[in-house]
Structure 1
Amino acid sequence: MPVKLINYFITAIVCIAATPASASEPAHEVSPGIILYNQFKFDTAFTTLEEEARSGSAESQYYLGEALRRRSRYMTPEAQHWYETAAMSGSIYAMIQLGRAKNDLCATMENCPPSQKTQAEWFMEAKKITLPKANNGDPESLYLMYEITLDHQWLEKSANAGYPLAQYWMAVSERQGEGYFFIPGGRDASVRKWLLLSSEGGNPKAMMEYLETLYEKGEMESIRHWLEVAAATGEQEAMSNYGAYTSHTPDKVGYPLDLVKGYAIFSLLKELGDSGGVQDYVDRKIDKIAEKMTPEQIEQSKTVAQEWKDTHPPLSFFPDKLGR
């Protein structure tokens, strides 16, 4: 693929991936608290998200509710408070989580906190706002109608309208047996198609799964391209693989040896600490790469790391926004 085209893909996807919190939110509005949440730095994220939530950010209010619910593994009164605060500010995602609360652990424990609306009423409110937009063809609203109703037709409509997250879940659902394919190999081809479309739309999870299909077919040129694009989104696994392969620790895909870039990428991953349980792996890799480097190369890598950090989205595990 020509260099200009590769750079176009990376630039476009960086712009999309800079908004892991919301596909519709401009990159400059992604808050520090949400970045920390996406990096699984929960201890720091709680404090930062609460400051942002109290300042009136509906997105941070929603993510604070998510963080609190995930920490306790059920709907606590504090989590519900922040979901409801976000919902009253128009967050459809918060309304959906409040609508799902009947299936939460607190229902089994019979200690769900009182709500301003019933679960059914929150779903009705979400649908009342979302349905008109969906009927006008808004891709994200089509997807949210799927989350509200679990009607697969909405998911398919959203995917066909070009919403990358819906395209990803179309691939997942078809891989799990959804739909009918009469031509041998049709299912695999359709899954691959949806993963590619979602990848082209900037979805890092789709990119990583699309890479697996490329590995199976041995399509090395495409692997090199898509791994570089995935790493450019800040997806931590893609960055880890990209850093390892560019530094030939090991050389699996045929990148030119670049110890400085590989070391720089792992030095950035080191900033995650033990988030996601990656610290030991990162430490081992960075030591292994350093064994092959001169002090001058290690010093040079600091500049490369800073340049990457200045021109790429933050590192992220890209957790699902509508967490279960």
Structure 2
Amino acid sequence: METHTSTFVVFSGKIEPLISIKRIMICALLLTAITNNAYAELNTEQKLAKTKGITLYNQYKAISAIPYLKLAAEGGDGEAMYYLGEAIRKNNRYMNVEAQKAYEDSAALGNIYSMIRLGRSTDDPCTEMNNCPKGKKSAQEWMDIAKKSADLDAERGNSESMYLLYEISGDDKWLEKSAASGFSLAQFRLATKYQEGGGFSLLPSNRLDAIERWMKASAEGGYPPGMMGFAAVSIEKKDLESFRNWNEKAAASGYVEGVFGYGSYLGENPSNYGFKPDLVKSYALLSLLFELDGGGNVRRDVEDVLPDIAKKMSPEQINEAKRFSEGWKSSHPPLSFFPDKL
């Protein structure tokens, strides 16, 4: 899955005699973004803090993520600033001053996600009363800048920016363009939209084909929810080999749903889906999920399943499972719920 953050270039071409104030503001912001990004270089400690902070955020541990994201944000990283704003906003359940500042600092560095978040905000009193101080942009102005910025990148073929234009406009054509250009999140979203009845012109057989095609593309593009989505499509087609393959790949990516499913199926004998029973690996994978003490209720699910697996195991097998668990953790990506970035 693509993970880069879109950046901008300044408008080119002939300057019109009467240029709008809004256009001037947009151009100034783009120039600032280029200048600031040129000097934003994190040191080793800040890079590690950014990785740790985003990992914790993706595990629904927003409170724990904040100190790490603050450290990376202090180094001038726009993406860390965005996640800092997200963590603060979600922890407080509204856009407070601290979250807004993090988003505004990030947006000034060219982060379109932050611009969109600011554009969607209804919590800023001055925006609601239409009396913001001079120099402070309204939600609509931020959304206009986000659209201009995403348009520029989309024109250069950036599939992520095409998806952001879908988020901004709600126009399905941008979702389709992003999917066709290879953005795996857009492919997953398009397949999901078809599953939910979107694409009214599709015949039933064509709909099923489209769902399978886009979910497979998302899975092959490396998007873990797409892997589990394609695994579900495989079950409907009674293709158990494909189901097992993609469930295992989703687990290897760190996706919580994949780890829980794969670990649970390995503990079955016989397995409903044809997995070869492996109590040691089953116990090891499921016990990894105990570290997810934030949201998601996954601990509760593990507590429902793991004791029954442990009853079938000897003390030696449980010790072996603990060693296997440590080895898996050190050789695989961290656990993640892979929440939507927006």
Aligned AA for 1:278? V
Q: Which residue pairs with 1:9 in the alignment?
A: none
Within 2, Cα distance between the matches of 1:177 and 1:266? 35
1:282 aligned to 2:302? Answer: yes
Q: Please point out which of 91, 94, 98 is paired with 1:71.
A: 91
Task: Tell which deviates more after alignment, 33-42 or 130-139.
Answer: 130-139
**Matching residue of 1:238:** 258
Q: Which moved more, 1:210-219 or 1:60-69?
A: 210-219
CA offsets per residue over residues 83-112 of structure 1, 9 Å max, x none?
1111111111001111111xx3667x9589
1:145 aligns with 165
State whether residues 87 and 94 of structure 1, in contact with CA within 8 Å, keep that contact through their aligned partners in structure 2. yes
8 Å contact from structure 1 (residues 140, 158) kept in 2: yes
Is residue 60–residue 294 contact of structure 2 (8 Å, CA) maintained in 1?
no
Q: How far apart, CA to CA, are the structure 2 residues paired with 1:74 and 1:95?
A: 17
Q: 1:112 to 1:297 in 2, by over 3 A?
A: farther
Distance between the aligned counterparts of 2:193 and 2:73, measured in 1? 35
Correspondence for 1:217 among 223, 226, 237: 237
After superposing the two structures, state which structure 1 stretch, 287-296 or 239-248, moved more. Answer: 287-296
**Residue pairs, 1:1-324, within 5 angstroms:** 23-24=3-4, 31-101=51-121, 104=122, 110=128, 116-181=136-201, 183-248=203-268, 251-273=271-293, 275-322=295-342
* Superposition RMSD in Å: 2.5
Q: Distance in 1 between matches of 2:191 and 2:131?
A: 37
Measured at CA, do residues 238 and 114 of structure 1 come closer, stay the same or move farther in structure 2, by a change above 3 Å? farther
Structure 2 letter corresponding to 1:310 = S
Distance in 1 of aligned mates of 2:226 and 2:323: 31
C-alpha distance in 2 between matches for 1:71 and 1:44: 10
Please list every run of 5 or more consecutive structure 2 residues that lacks an aligned counterpart in the other structure. 6-46
Question: What one-letter code is carried by the residue in structure 2 that aligns with 1:164?
Answer: S
Identity of aligned residues (%): 43
Q: What's the offset of the Cα at 1:155?
A: 1.3
Q: Greater relative contact order: 1 or 2 (C-alpha under 8 angstroms, separation 6 or more)?
A: 1
Q: Work out the CA distance in 1 between the residues paired with 2:73 and 2:130.
A: 22
1:228 counterpart SS class: helix
Q: Tell me whether 127-136 or 246-255 shows the greater mean CA deviation.
A: 246-255
Cα drift, residue 274 of structure 1? 5.0
Note if contact 1:264-1:305 (Cα within 8 Å) is conserved in structure 2: yes
CA distance in 1, matches of 2:328, 2:66: 27
Deviations 1:193-213 (A, max 9, x none): 111111111112222222222
CA contact (8 A) 1:33 1:46 kept: yes
Q: What whole-Å deviation, never above 9, does each CA across 1:110-166 have from its counterpart, x for those lacking one?
A: 589958312222122223332222112121121122222222211111110111011
Give the direction of change, closer, same or farther, for the CA distance of 1:225–1:68 in structure 2 (3 Å limit): same
- State the alpha-carbon separation in 1 of the partners of residues 75 and 205 from structure 2: 53
Structure 1 residue 250: Cα displacement: 7.4
Say if 1:250 and 1:94 are closer, same or farther in 2 by CA, change over 3 A: farther
**Matches of 1:152 and 1:51, distance apart in 2:** 38
Change (3 A) 1:290 1:100: same
Structure 1 stretch displaced more, 171-180 or 200-209: 171-180
Give the AA of the match of 1:74. Y
Normalised TM-score (structure 2): 0.80
Cα distance in 2, alignment partners of residues 24 and 54 from structure 1: 20
Distance (whole Å) between structure 1 residues aligned to residue 73 and residue 111 of structure 2: 13
The code of the aligned residue for 1:52 comes to: A
Contact preservation (8 Å) 2:162, 2:178: yes
Deviations 1:67-86 (A, max 9, x none): 22223333222211111111
Q: In 2, are the aligned partners of 1:204 and 1:235 still within 8 Å (CA)? A: yes
SS of equivalent to 2:296: helix
- Worse-matched range after superposition: 42-51 or 230-239: 42-51
**TM-score normalised per structure 1:** 0.84
